[in-house]
Amino acid sequence: MKKWFLSLVLVLVVGALAACGSSSDSKDKAAGTDSKTIKLGATAGPYSDMLKKAIVPGLEEKGYKVEIVEFSDYIQPNKALDNGDIQANLFQHTIYLENFAKQNNMKLTPLIQVPTAPMGIYSKKFKSLDEVKDGATVTLPNDPTNAARALNTLRDEGFITIKEGTDPLTVSEKDIAENKKNLKFQPIEAGQLPRSVDSADLACVPGNFALAAKMNLLDALALENMDDKYRNIVAVKTENKDSQLAKDIKAVVESDNFEKVIDDQFKGFGKPTWMTK
């Protein structure tokens, strides 16, 4: 009887320890601290490629086993990050992340900015911006964030001036002080901008849509001088921003090898300020 009782106690103790270990492992995975087996998310396209070619190899050298999860929209990557299905993602800029996290009650944090495909001014009517005629039509994004980027780029190229004191992140057509060439603006949905190159005199096309349409960034007559807030970032859950994984991701992105891959395979991508100092 005593032997039976001791055996039962031993089974219960072992089971309890196993349960604790399993619980601990689950918590580690949810927290993104399950050291060497990780999942990184990105939208299909250039930023998924950036993970594959410029970031994952560096993490693998540090001993990580990495799976890349591709998404087809801009909503699921942050949901997956928030619920622990992935440990980091790369597809969005800081402004989008902050707004999305606030609206959805999530605690997500930008970890580090990466080179980003800039908006470009494209044309099949003109070979240079010096040829642009008075009254030329310009297609630009109809969403406020990308419209501001387009107008800032047109300002930088000398076509318009912006009212003094205007926040460059919220510039709109009503903030134009002078339209030197009497440009006619045609706001359209951003995804349609690559097609508009065929019909408009000028088209302001965000880099991600240009690349999706197989356009060459270096064919643009001018590329955006991008504000760092519009550069894409690697994002993590706020609770994991100081984790070993977060430190290792930053170390890989800050490495010479990362910059070499960018220079070789992501031509035209604008580098964040920290890379150009």
Burial 228-263 (b: 16+ CB within 10 A, else e): ebbbbbbbbbeebbebebbebbeebbeeeebeebbe
Tell me which CATH homologous superfamily contains domain 33-116+229-276. Answer: Periplasmic binding protein-like II (3.40.190.10)
Q: What would the two tokens of residue 177 be? A: 């002080």
Looking at residue 277, what is its pLDDT? 87
Looking at residue 34, what is its pLDDT? 52
For the chain, the domains span: 33-116+229-276, 120-225
Alpha-carbon distance of 156 to 82, in angstroms, equals 38
pTM, entire model:
0.83
Domain at 120-225: CATH code = 3.40.190.10
Q: What would the two tokens of residue 135 be? A: 């009254």
Cα distances from 217 to residues 53, 122, 240, 269, in angstroms, run: 19, 9, 35, 8
Q: Residues 68-124: pLDDT tens digits?
A: 999 999 999 999 999 999 999 999 999 999 999 999 999 999 999 999 999 999 999
Q: Give the residue ranges of the chain where pLDDT is below 70.
A: 1-35
Alpha-carbon distance of 45 to 208, in angstroms, equals 8
Do 120-225 and 33-116+229-276 fall under one CATH topology?
Answer: yes
Looking at residue 35, what is its pLDDT? 64
Looking at residue 11, what is its pLDDT? 45
